[in-house]
Amino acid sequence: MVYIFLSSLTISIILFYFFKKISFKFNLVDKPDELSVHKNIIPTGAGIIFCITFVCLLFFANFLSNYNILDIIPPKNFIIFLSSLLLLTIISFYDDLKKIHPVIRLFFQLTIIFFCSSLFNTSIPNIPLKLLIIFIVYFWVYTINIINFTDGVDGFLGLNSLNYFLCASIFYAVTSSSDFGYLVSVISVGTMISYLCFNKPKATLFMGDTGSIFLGFLIGYISIKLIFFGRYDIVISLLAYTYLDCTITIFKKILTGKMPWARLFDYYFLIPVKNNQPHKKVFLANLVYNIFIFIIVLVQILFEIKIICILSLMCAIILIYYFKSFEKAQYQK
């Protein structure tokens, strides 16, 4: 796995560098508008590098570390997983270029994830098959979209994703599991580290919907596997902030007659930068939060103390109130 991690880190950082060079030539840039939280023209769509690196390392995993993919995931499931991931990435990349109506995107996501429900063992005693499929589809699609919604501040989603995949990798390593999720997590850790080199404040590269949807798909996939392993507590801890911020904000939109996907930039983590605070301040606050979450999850993994996930929820609430305090400070002025 060390070779896979190092290969992911090296390949992706080289590809990000070249992508940054050619993005202006092909007009793959994010031009700021009145709703933007950045002021400069930034290359976007770099999430396509996530996909290229990921797919390359999947096929070369056997040579890198004697990791036989088809021994841990059946060929049929592997084809479904890979084709679904590629299709979602292509749709998202096109959306970065031309913009697709949210309803159409949601239709594609629901359809693709419905077929992906076959990736899991749904023969769980005392739980109806249809109920499990409904859970998989709605949980996975919702996770994909809220991960997408949290891509708005330099380094924010990249840092959250790095912590998620790092914790997942440690879980699989400690439990000596050869699950496919282990390979997915290790590849993603290397990619996220290299991406943060370009996306940390001040960002010189954006992942776009191509990257955030890609990450949402992988995070949703691993989360469902962890839940089926009985480790729902780890999922709660790692997604606490994302679920709280986005769910509260979406309900607020609905109650005011807005569409859930309305581009209002009203999520809590955006409040500081909307009130003229530097992206770096949000990034550092999120870094501290992720350090606490990492420690909490590490305790959960090593000692199997599931109840400690409550501390993660408390940390997420504190971070939300911290971000919201900048809005109050603005009002006081």
pTM: 0.94
Question: Using an 8 Å Cβ cutoff, are 257 and 333 in contact?
Answer: no
**How many C-beta atoms lie closer than 10 Å to residue 12's C-beta?**
28
Q: What are phi and psi of 296, to 5 degrees?
A: -60, -45
Residue-level pLDDT at 48: 94
Residue-level pLDDT at 157: 97
For 165-285, strand residue ranges (E) read none
Residue-level pLDDT at 329: 59
**How many C-beta atoms lie closer than 10 Å to residue 271's C-beta?**
22
Residue-level pLDDT at 328: 65
Residue-level pLDDT at 59: 82
Question: Using an 8 Å Cβ cutoff, are 155 and 196 in contact?
Answer: yes
User: Torsion angle of alpha carbons 123, 135, 120, 52, nearest 10°?
Assistant: 180
Tokens of 319: 């971070």
Residue-level pLDDT at 297: 97
**CA end-to-end distance (rounded Å), the chain:** 53
In sequence order, which residues have a C-beta less than 8 Å from that of residue 189 and are 6 or more positions away? 5, 8, 162, 165, 166, 169
Q: How far does CA 82 lie from the centroid of its chain?
A: 17
Question: Using an 8 Å Cβ cutoff, are 97 and 23 in contact?
Answer: no
pLDDT in tens, the chain (333 residues): 788 899 999 999 999 999 998 988 888 887 766 555 666 788 898 999 999 999 999 888 766 666 677 667 777 889 999 999 999 999 999 998 888 999 999 999 999 999 999 999 877 777 888 999 999 999 999 999 999 999 989 999 999 999 999 999 999 999 987 789 999 999 999 999 999 999 999 999 999 999 999 999 999 999 999 999 999 999 999 999 999 999 999 999 998 888 887 777 789 999 999 888 999 999 999 999 999 999 999 999 999 899 999 999 999 999 999 999 998 655 454
Question: Using an 8 Å Cβ cutoff, are 118 and 81 in contact?
Answer: no
